[in-house]
Structure 1
Amino acid sequence: MGQRVTGLWPVLRQVTGSDKTAHGAAVRTAHTDAITARTETADRVVKSVCPFCAVGCGQDVYVKDEQVVQIEGDPDSPISRGRLCPKGSASKSLVTSPTRVTTVRYRRPGGTDWEDLPLATAMDMIADRVLQARHDGWQELDDRGRKLRRTMGFASLGGATLDNEENYLMKKLYTALGAVQIENQARI
């Protein structure tokens, strides 16, 4: 029995067999032969971009039964050429984690408990508050009578996870609203 068990050890198969570099049969077992990669059983592959930083590494998102089963680097991406950093490699947990919040959570001023809100209600609340802050902080003229047409009622701090297009749209939106305090975390 001892001979049979030790004969199964990959190191012994490597030393005693023809696969001295352990790139073939020496490391294969019935268990490894029975394993199938999640990428092989996926129904489809969706091209995406990693959300973690502004580099924009390409990702292949493997989907089976409308569920994300694997995320890997996109070898066709001219930016990352199939490579992902540790955060990008672990990004599957962003969409599959059981602790992921999938509802709008709101805690009223002075409140101690969170409540769920419909997305439309939350968006209306945000729009109302932006418009009110714009109105309350509006400066039409400076103290010498020069036109300013700006608000100091709110500011924007973009994050490094936003791509160029998102940052461009944010800059245009906040400028159109009259904000002058528009910055990006990537420059700080």
Structure 2
Amino acid sequence: MKLTRRDFLKISSAATAGLALGGCTTMGFNMQPVQEQAWRLRTQDAKETPTICCYCAVGCGILCHTDKRTGKVIYTEGDADHPINRGALCAKGAATYQVAQNDKRMTKVLYRAPYSTQWEEKSWDWALRQIAKRVKDSRDKSFTRKNAKGQVVNRCDGIASVGSAALDNEECWIYQAMLRAMGLVYIEHQARI
């Protein structure tokens, strides 16, 4: 019997179809539908929060999945609904999970006093009070109420700000309002630089 290529394809197709439709379990295939999956997505019960990538001025959207019980980040992915990146992320953006979940990440405030060679651990309350105190001291020292002509200017020349492009419009507005309320005139933003 001479077997042509066409005959071989007919026979092998018929055999494959017969095995598939026959529910062949003897060869290790089970074509029955899966009733219950043994695995679950780790993000199935997670809270999904949209955010913005913290690395550059592009402002790509990221979905951050957090455990509802512990509040810990369990997964991050590109936001497919975001108009800038449409779900795609660069290597840095794709690795943002490691920013939150990294055993080498600093979690305590380290302070080195002027002229000291040693770092000291401080509390967050102490650090925030020190920052506020030093900003207020600097503002008070460099605040100008009136210029040389006697005109009221109410400005602070001793502090400048370069804002972060990772902030959204609402955060930028609040940040700008705070800076202008303090009298700052040297205000720049990373997205413009």
Do they superpose with TM above 0.5? yes
Q: Is the 8 A contact 1:54 1:162 kept in 2?
A: no
Q: Normalising to structure 2: TM-score of the pair?
A: 0.69
Structure 1: how far apart are the matches of 2:56 and 2:158? 28
Displacement of 1:153: 1.8
The reply on whether 1:41 has 2:45 as its aligned counterpart is: no
| 2:165 alignment counterpart | 160
Matches within 5 A, 1:1-188: 40-42=41-43, 43-49=45-51, 50-63=53-66, 66=70, 67-188=72-193
Question: Partner amino acid for 1:77?
Answer: H
Structure 1: how far apart are the matches of 2:155 and 2:163? 19
Rg (Cα) greater in structure: 2
Structure 1: how far apart are the matches of 2:73 and 2:112? 31
Q: Is the 8 A contact 1:54 1:163 kept in 2?
A: no
Structure 1: how far apart are the matches of 2:90 and 2:47? 20
Displacement of 1:177: 0.6
Question: Partner amino acid for 1:169?
Answer: I
Displacement of 1:182: 0.8
Structure 1: how far apart are the matches of 2:125 and 2:167? 23
In the superposition, relative to structure 1, how do residues 44 and 150 fare at CA in structure 2: closer, same or farther (>3 Å)?
same
Structure 1: how far apart are the matches of 2:161 and 2:50? 26
Structure 2: how far apart are the matches of 1:74 and 1:181? 34
SS at match of 2:171: helix
Q: Normalising to structure 1: TM-score of the pair?
A: 0.71
Structure 2: how far apart are the matches of 1:126 and 1:79? 35
Structure 2: how far apart are the matches of 1:140 and 1:151? 9
Structure 2: how far apart are the matches of 1:149 and 1:79? 39
Runs of 5+ in structure 2 lacking a partner? 1-15, 17-37
Displacement of 1:45: 4.1
SS at match of 2:89: coil
The runs of at least 4 aligned residues of structure 1 exceeding 4 Å deviation read none
In the superposition, relative to structure 1, how do residues 117 and 146 fare at CA in structure 2: closer, same or farther (>3 Å)?
same
In the superposition, relative to structure 1, how do residues 116 and 145 fare at CA in structure 2: closer, same or farther (>3 Å)?
same
Aligned residues between the structures: 153
Structure 1: how far apart are the matches of 2:192 and 2:84? 21
Q: Is the 8 A contact 2:57 2:190 kept in 1?
A: no
Q: Is the 8 A contact 1:74 1:81 kept in 2?
A: yes
In the superposition, relative to structure 1, how do residues 163 and 114 fare at CA in structure 2: closer, same or farther (>3 Å)?
farther
Structure 2: how far apart are the matches of 1:133 and 1:161? 26
